[in-house]
A and B are shown apart, each in its own frame.
Chain A
Amino acid sequence: MQATEAVKLLLGIGEPLIGRLLTYDALGMRFREVRLRRDPNCPLCGSHPTIKDLSIHHDGGAACAITPNGREAAVATSARA
C-alpha cells in the first residue's frame, strides 16, 4: 500500500491517501477508511504552532511540548518491543 501510494504521488496521478487513514485487519480481512482532519490546535501544523524547529527532539526523546490548550504533545520516550 505504501509503495502504491508512493508511485501515485511521484507520478501525480489518482487520489492519494491524504486526509484518509486506511486500516487493514488481516484476521477479519477487512479494510476500513477513516477521514482525518487537520487539528487547528496541532502544535506543528495548526494555526498557532509551537513547534517551529526540531529542538523538541534534542533531549533524547523525553522532551514534551505543552500546546496552548494544555495538551502534552511531543516525543515519546521510546516504546520499543
Chain B
Amino acid sequence: MKKLVALFVAVILALSLCSAFAEGEKTTLTMWCIATESDANRPAYEAAIAAFEAAHPDIKIEWEAFENQSYKTKIKTAMADPSTLPDIFFTWAGAFLGDFVDQGNVYCLDEAYKEFAADLPEVMMGNASYGGSHYGVPLTMNIVVMFANMDLLAQAGYDDVPTTYDELIDCCDALVEADITPFGCAGSETWCVTEYLEPIILKTIGYEELGEIFAGSATWNDEAIATAVDTFQEMITKGYFDPNGISLGNDQVKANFIAGQYAFYQNGSWNCGEVNDAEGNFKVCLFPVMDAEKATYSQVIGGPSDTLAVAASSQNPELAAQAAFELGKEICHYGYLAGSGLPAWTPDYDTSEVKALVADVAAMVAAADGMVLFGDTAMSADPANTYLNFVSKVYGCEIDGAGFITSLASALQ
C-alpha cells in the first residue's frame, strides 16, 4: 500500500514538474488598461484577450485594470521609472501619449504596423503618430453626439430632433414649458462640460480654426468664441440645464437621462450601447450649426483616442507590438458590436448585429466633413488642465465669454 501511495505521489510530482516546465515556456506579456468591471469596454477586453490567448497558446496576457482618473496618475508616475511599466499600456492619443513619446518611453510601432496596414487605415493612426512615426494602436474611435429622448420630445410637440439652432431653442422653450428639463450636464467632471462647450464653439468657428487653437497655433482670443461661450451660458441661465447637474457626476447624469429626466444628453458616442439598450425611444444627432459661414452640421468633435502603446523598456518589444495590434483589432471588433465605440479598424466581420444608435453614429462619422480631437486630449497636460479650469468657471458662470477668451489666451500663450 505504502509503495502504491509513494508511486502515486511520485507520478503527481512528475506531472506537476512537467506542467511547470511547460508553463515556463510560455511568454508572459503584462498590460495595464482602464477597463474596470464597471467600464463599458470590459467585455470587449475580456473577449479580445481570450481570443488572443487561444490563438497564441504560448503567450499569456497578465492584465490589470485601473479606474480612469487614478490610472492617469499611475501611468505618469510609472514613466519616471520605465522599468515599472508593463509591456503594453492603455493611453489616450494626442498630447497625452506625445509626452511619453518625448520622454523616449514608448516603442516605435512602424515595423509592426506594416503587417496590419491593410486593416488599419493610416488616417486612424494620425493621433498617435509623432515626427512621422507610429507609437500607438487605436482601439475604437468616438465623437461627441447629442442623445435625444424622443418620448419627452413628443410631449413637447416634437416628433424629430431639431437640426438648426433656432429649432433647438424653440424645442428647449417648449420642453421647459412642458416642465421637462432639456439638458443634463455633470458639472463635477469638467470634461463633461467640454462635451457641451466644444461642439458649440466648433459650430461657431469651424473645425479648422478650432483644430489650430487646440494645436496652439491660433489664439483663443476670438470674439466668435466669446459669443459661443455666452450662448452656452445663456442656455444655462434660461433654465435649459438641470441646475443640480453642477454637483453631479457623469454616471448620475447619464442615469437621469436614461431614466427620462432630461430630453437631451450630449456626451461621447461610447454611451451608444447603454442608451440603445435602455427602455425608451432614443435618437442620436449632432449639435446644430451656429455660424453657417464657418461650420457645417456634419463637423464633429472626436476621433480615435483610446490607444494601446508598447513600453520601450519591454523585454519583448517586438512580441508586445504584435500583441498590441492583435489585441487592438479584437477590442475594436468586440467594442463596436457592444456599442462602446466606433471602429478605428476596417471591419472584416458581420456587422449586421451592430446596434441601431451605433450604426447611426457610424453614418455620421462617414459623412463628417471635419473632425477635431477632444480639447483635453489634443492639448498637452499643462494647457489642457488650465483650459479645463476655465471651462469649469464657465459652467459656474464665474466668467463670461469675454473673460474666458482673454484669460485663457493670455494663460496659454
**Are A and B part of the same complex?**
no
